[in-house]
Amino acid sequence: TYVVTDACVNCKFTDCVEVCPVDCFYEGENTLVIHPDECIDCGVCEPECPADAIRPDSDPGSNQWVELNRRYAGIWPVITERKDPLPDAEAWKDRTGKLSLLSE
């Protein structure tokens, strides 16, 4: 599976949802997640994200992201169409360590 990391927080560019063939992105207030059991591992979303927030679960340390994506994908609504990024997306794009800012 692929997962969304905290690099998406406060950005939500949503280019990713446009290309996903199985519509497995879910939307929170300030980030998206991927449903790890619905993702078919095609990889097409990864290069689309301007914040480089999408990673394969083969990345070292990805366990926490898989768990987080699974948890919120079960709660948040599906998103299937692109929308405007959050207002300060460009400013937040290259910031790291944004997990504590994630809005449930």
- Binding region for ligand SF4 (CB under 6 A): 2, 19-22, 24, 34, 39-45
User: Of ligand F3S, ligand SF4, none, which one sits near residue 15, judging by CB under 5 to 8 A according to partner kind?
Assistant: ligand F3S
The CB-of-25 to ligand F3S minimum distance in angstroms stands at 7
The CB-of-82 to ligand F3S minimum distance in angstroms stands at 9
Backbone angles phi, psi at 65, to 5 degrees: -75, -40
Which residues 6+ apart lie within 8 Å of 93 measured at CB? 11, 50, 51
The residue within the footprint of ligand F3S, chosen from 1, 3, 6, 8 (CB under 6 A), is 8
Q: Which helix (H) or strand (E) holds 18?
A: helix 15-19
Q: Which helix (H) or strand (E) holds 96?
A: none
The CB-of-85 to ligand SF4 minimum distance in angstroms stands at 18
User: Of ligand SF4, ligand F3S, none, which one sits near residue 57, judging by CB under 5 to 8 A according to partner kind?
Assistant: none
Q: Quick one: the chain helix, strand, coil %, rounded to 5? A: 30, 10, 60
Specify the residue, 37 or 83, whose C-beta has the smaller distance to ligand F3S: 83
